[in-house]
């Protein structure tokens, strides 16, 4: 087992492949001396299971790289790291403490030991204090999951870093070393589950051919404490079983799923369960048979129950109603079903009510289903945030949502406390992130997008961590420990999301992206297969104003929230301007709390966004002597692309909405030099297939 763990490729030391797991020799001699006091040996005082062997090999490798000291496993009286179990710790938890001249890493179970080893290495990588240490940690959320939207042919839906990690045609015979490297990176941040395929699922994944392939992946991931889930096609009994129906209440359908689940567990004894997208965007589901989402989920839950498997049922549903409000659809479908789902069903809800926008209010289902465990679904891949050409640090987006108060059980009922179960005492908790990794050598396309994968894992483990602390860790582990460079890069990361919002969708503007690929501005989009796939459906601009009225005088989507939340957003005079156009239709001439008219503020934000990108370029240039030159050049090139794309956003949106406002760009801003027709042609090119 140990020899397998040492295959992590280091042929190109600074091309981004190693992610945040760079175990290069520490230049700080005093820290090396401090850490070497505990680097004379590693002793394992528990059964050497595959997960424990993974932890041992990782610790040996990390210490050898960071300290230049080869560490053996022959016990001595003092000066070593001791791995042991402590049943009094919470599940997956660990305790690291300095005691009797040794460093003890105690885990509640094998995974706790593994996570404790990674924590110790993180402390060393960031040159933190280890002497006299006593750290006790346990995850706040039990299932910490990546959802891969990977397809059988090797493509990735909303993937911007190459092709799929999974080489399905080579599996199960050929195991790419990259799978182990991927597992290792996930284990280092506490990810313990992976759904390997797209939620728009092919039934092929349930065939013996593909179960053999998934088994091979599960065998690789298992020593890293990671369980495999499968996204399923709800119509599989008809597609694969040739049954006349997929009705979840039909006995023959239930029996088909019972037998299929038994087959899966013969291949993968620790299989996690199913992720399901049903009756959404054309995917089949129980409603086609006159049944509810609960009927469909419970049928699958019954089949999985004997094996302790879980059903994760996505709440991303919305019907095409031109007179309705997509904002409300999931709430109206799922709120009445609260308490009707089986105990091993988790309903997975996107962070916002529309679809992973650069800024959204939190989804109104959070806090509205006290009898049904709700999982958070964040998107790590940047579908609406500039793909892999734009620098956007998503920890600020994640934290903004997690820290928002739902008032579900009074003040302090934050979204984070909903999903970690502390508000409604959920028996099982989960959080998922749509993965941004692919076959690109550096995993994520944009090197800075690695920070989003890292940040998701860290917040899934402990949502109380700050976005600044996470950025600080990641920079020191990935780029440099130079204080000036760390400070400069961290400032870029922390400001990047707001800069992106300003140069794309300020003041609560949303869903005005290019059709289909969701890239670039297309605010003029008025025709599509569905009304809620157009831009005009959302911004509703005309000569009198702009914005979607979701107050009681409009769709009353605001009424789905608790009164305390409504109070924050119901009055356009006091509504935070970040959410203004989400909830209010506003006159172009309205004076805002910023002191400017809406149109002037609208323009100002776009120009501030452009200046923000230029500021990021300047700040990035300052750290050039302090980081790897090839990696620096890669990011610098993408920032140049981001500036070009930001200018397209600014000019397209200002010129288009100016046709309604009939107002000049306010002084001292210089009006766009291109015409609206020129911008439309540029965007049309984006949409070509």
Model confidence at 608: pLDDT above 50 = yes
Model confidence at 411: pLDDT above 80 = yes
Alpha-carbon distance 481 to 501, whole Å? Answer: 29
3-class SS of residue 378: strand
User: Which residues, 6 or more positions from 212, have their beta carbon under 8 angstroms from its beta carbon?
Assistant: 171, 172, 267
Helices (H), 535-579: 536-539, 563-569
523-534: b (≥16 Cβ within 10 Å) or e: bbbeeeeebbbb
Peptide bond into 78 cis (omega under 30): no
* Residue 512 main-chain phi, psi, to 5 deg: -120, 35
Is 501-548+585-687 assigned to CATH 3.90.1330.10?
yes
pLDDT 10s digits, 353-409: 999 999 999 999 999 999 999 999 999 999 999 999 999 999 999 999 999 999 999
The share of the chain scoring above pLDDT 70, in percent, equals 98
Model confidence at 2: pLDDT above 50 = no
Tell the burial category of 427 from Cβ atoms under 10 Å away from its Cβ (0-12, 13-18, 19+): exposed
3-class SS of residue 683: helix
Where does 456-560 show beta strands of DSSP type E?
545-546
Task: Place 549 in a pLDDT band, splitting at 50, 70 and 90.
Answer: very high
Model confidence at 247: pLDDT above 80 = yes
Would you state the structure tokens that stand for residue 52, as one six-digit string? 């424990």
Q: Quick one: the chain helix, strand, coil %, rounded to 5?
A: 45, 10, 45
Alpha-carbon distance 360 to 158, whole Å? Answer: 19
Write down the domain spans for the chain.
2-9+18-137, 143-465, 501-548+585-687
Task: Place 11 in a pLDDT band, splitting at 50, 70 and 90.
Answer: very low
Strand partners, 434: 147, 379
126-142: b (≥16 Cβ within 10 Å) or e: bbeebeebeeebbbbbb
Alpha-carbon distance 556 to 1, whole Å? Answer: 58
Architecture of domain 2-9+18-137 in this structure = 2-Layer Sandwich (3.30)
CB 274 within 8 A of CB 312: yes
Q: Which fold has domain 143-465?
A: TIM Barrel (3.20.20)
DSSP state, residue 664? P
| The predicted structure's pLDDT at residue 683 | 86
- The mean pLDDT value of the chain amounts to 96
| The predicted structure's pLDDT at residue 13 | 57
3-class SS of residue 118: helix
Of residues 162, 190, 221, 689, the one with CA closest to residue 381: 162
What is the pLDDT averaged over residues 239-261?
98
- pTM of the full structure: 0.97
Catalytic positions = 281, 355, 383
Would you state the structure tokens that stand for residue 480, as one six-digit string? 């440099």
Helix axes 467-478, 483-504, angle to 10 degrees: 120
Would you state the structure tokens that stand for residue 245, as one six-digit string? 């129906």
What is the pLDDT averaged over residues 529-553?
97
Which helix or strand (DSSP H or E) is residue 125 part of?
A: helix 110-125
Distance (Å) of CA 188 to CA 21, 46, 539: 8, 21, 42
- Rg (alpha carbons) of the chain, rounded to whole number: 26
| The predicted structure's pLDDT at residue 10 | 39
């Amino acid at each position: 087992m140990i020899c397998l763990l040492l295959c992590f490729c280091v042929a190109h030391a600074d091309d981004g492949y190693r992610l945040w797991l760079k175990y290069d020799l520490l230049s700080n001699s005093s820290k090396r001396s401090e850490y070497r006091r505990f680097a004379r040996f590693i002793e394992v005082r528990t059964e050497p299971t595959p997960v424990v062997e993974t932890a041992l090999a990782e610790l040996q490798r990390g210490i050898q790289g960071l300290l230049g000291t080869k560490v053996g496993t022959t016990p001595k009286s003092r000066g070593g790291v001791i791995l042991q179990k402590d049943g009094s710790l919470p599940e997956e938890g660990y305790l690291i403490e300095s005691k009797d001249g040794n460093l003890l890493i105690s885990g509640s179970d094998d995974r706790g030991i593994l996570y404790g080893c990674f924590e110790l290495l993180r402390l060393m990588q960031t040159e933190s204090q280890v002497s006299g240490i006593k750290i006790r940690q346990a995850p706040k959320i039990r299932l910490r999951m990546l959802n891969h939207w990977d397809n059988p042919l090797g493509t990735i839906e909303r993937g911007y870093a190459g092709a799929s990690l999974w080489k399905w045609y080579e599996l199960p015979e050929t195991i790419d070393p990259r799978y182990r490297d991927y597992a290792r990176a996930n284990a280092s941040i506490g990810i313990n589950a992976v759904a390997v395929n797209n939620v728009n699922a092919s039934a092929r994944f349930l065939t013996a051919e593909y179960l053999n392939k998934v088994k091979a992946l599960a065998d690789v991931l298992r020593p890293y404490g990671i369980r495999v889930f499968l996204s399923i096609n709800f119509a599989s009994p008809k597609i694969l079983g040739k049954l006349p129906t997929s009705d979840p209440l039909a006995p023959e359908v239930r029996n088909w799923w019972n037998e299929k689940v038994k087959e899966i567990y013969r291949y993968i004894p620790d299989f996690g369960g199913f992720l399901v997208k049903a009756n959404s965007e054309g995917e089949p589901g129980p409603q086609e048979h006159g049944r509810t989402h609960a009927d469909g989920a419970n049928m699958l839950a019954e089949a999985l129950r004997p094996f302790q498997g879980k059903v994760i049922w996505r709440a991303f549903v919305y019907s095409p109603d031109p007179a309705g409000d997509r904002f409300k659809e999931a709430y109206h479908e799922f709120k009445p079903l609260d308490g009707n789902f089986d105990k091993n069903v988790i309903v997975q809800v996107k962070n916002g009510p529309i679809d992973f926008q650069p800024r959204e209010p939190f989804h109104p289902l959070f806090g509205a289903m006290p009898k049904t465990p709700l999982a958070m679904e964040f998107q790590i891949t940047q579908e609406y945030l500039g793909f892999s050409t734009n620098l956007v640090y998503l920890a600020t987006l994640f934290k903004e949502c997690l820290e928002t108060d739902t008032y579900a059980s009074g003040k302090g009922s934050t979204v984070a406390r909903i999903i970690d179960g502390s508000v409604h005492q959920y028996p099982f908790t989960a959080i998922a992130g749509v993965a941004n990794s692919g076959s690109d050598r550096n995993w994520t396309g944009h090197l800075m997008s690695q920070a989003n994968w890292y940040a998701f894992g860290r917040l899934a483990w402990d949502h109380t961590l700050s976005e600044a602390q996470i950025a600080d860790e990641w920079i020191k582990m990935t780029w440099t420990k130079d204080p000036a460079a760390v400070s400069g890069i961290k400032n870029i990361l922390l400001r990047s999301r707001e800069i992106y919002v300003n140069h794309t969708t300020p003041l609560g503007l949303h869903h005005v992206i290019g059709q289909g690929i969701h890239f670039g501005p297309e605010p003029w989009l008025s025709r599509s297969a569905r009304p809620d796939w157009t831009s005009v459906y959302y911004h509703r601009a005309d000569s009198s104003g702009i914005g979607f009225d979701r107050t009681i005088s409009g769709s009353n989507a605001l009424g789905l929230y608790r009164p305390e939340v409504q109070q924050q957003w119901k009055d356009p005079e006091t509504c935070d301007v970040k959410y203004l156009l989400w909830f209010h239709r506003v006159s172009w001439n309205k004076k805002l709390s910023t002191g400017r008219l809406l149109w002037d503020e609208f323009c100002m934000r776009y120009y501030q966004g452009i200046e923000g990108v230029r500021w990021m370029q300047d700040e990035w240039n300052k750290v050039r002597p302090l980081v790897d030159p090839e990696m620096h050049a890669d990011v610098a090139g993408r920032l140049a692309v981001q500036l070009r794309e930001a200018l397209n956003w600014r000019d397209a949106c200002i010129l288009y909405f100016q046709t309604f406002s009939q107002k000049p760009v306010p002084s001292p801003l210089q009006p766009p030099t291109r015409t609206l027709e020129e911008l439309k042609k540029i965007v049309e090119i984006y949409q070509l297939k």
